[in-house]
Amino acid sequence: MNSESAEKAQIERIDQADALTGHRFRYYDFAMAATCVIFVCSNIIGAGKVAEIGGFAFGAGVLFFPLSYVLGDVLTEVYGYARARRVIWAGFVAAAFAAGMAAFITWMPPAPGWNVDLGGVDRQTAFEANFGQAPRIVFASITAFWVGELANAYVMARMKVWSSGKHLWQRTIGSTVVGQGLDSLIFYPLAFLGVWSVELIITVLFTNYALKVLWEAMLTPVTYKVVGALKKAEGVDVYDAETDFTPFSVKS
């Protein structure tokens, strides 16, 4: 038996997620934490700014947010749809808490000694400029994230069963085309209609969508390596042949 066959023999194919109840995963919690961190930071820090390089305008968050979709692909491929769905809900709740916290802290009256002039603008006004838009942005984003990520995981899981686990690149890119498409169509109008011009919304929507899909394609070699390493480390490869695909559950 060659080394590749030996590695495959050490990875158990699981066709029903319930069969993994009680199985101790080594890296699942880390993947969940990373997804939540990337999602919250992308919304709070990157979503509200439009950058321009060489006359090409794009949302700054696009440089980091697609990593959550890459992790979503990895989670679905290695751990199955149910555990990926659990991570999506965790990211949803984390972002909702961040939005609520930003709104509450922005609303609180500032102490006079803190609210000093910063050169034409007081500190409270500057704080509001940075975080005052966060609740609307995060509401739009968590809605788009929830729909887009669940669609991404669903397509990924279904394609894996249909293809018998072959051609991972087709699943990662195909699921991203669907998931990121829904994400972009929901997020940009909901977050920025009435704040940005319609022309800018349409421009950023389509350019960011194209960049996200391109990002996914470029990161395919990395995805292959991470998926292979995790399957080997966890000793399982989950196929969602008998999975309940309801989005309204956190059961794994």
Predicted local confidence at residue 2, as pLDDT = 43
φ and ψ at residue 122, rounded to 5 degrees: -80, 165
Torsion of CA 18, 40, 51, 178, to 10 degrees: 20
The domains located in the chain, with CATH, are 14-107+125-230 (1.10.1760)
**Residue 227, amino acid:** V
pTM summary value: 0.87
Mean pLDDT of 156-169: 95
Does position 12 have pLDDT exceeding 90, yes or no? no
Judged against a pLDDT cut of 70, whether residue 16 lies above it is answered with no
Q: Tell me the pLDDT tens digit for each residue of 194-207.
A: 988 999 899 989 98
pLDDT of residue 133: 65
Tokens 């397509």 sit at which residue? 155
Question: What is d(CA 146, CA 12) in angstroms, rounded to the nearest whole number?
Answer: 30
> What value, to the nearest 5°, has the Cα angle with vertex 38 and ends 74 and 192?
115
Q: What is the pLDDT of residue 1?
A: 42
Higher pLDDT, residue 115 or 21: 115
| Angle between helix 168-192 and 66-79 (nearest 10) | 140
Tell me: the pLDDT tens digits for 207-224?
889 988 998 899 999 999
**Contacts for 2 with CB less than 8 Å, ≥ 6 apart:** none
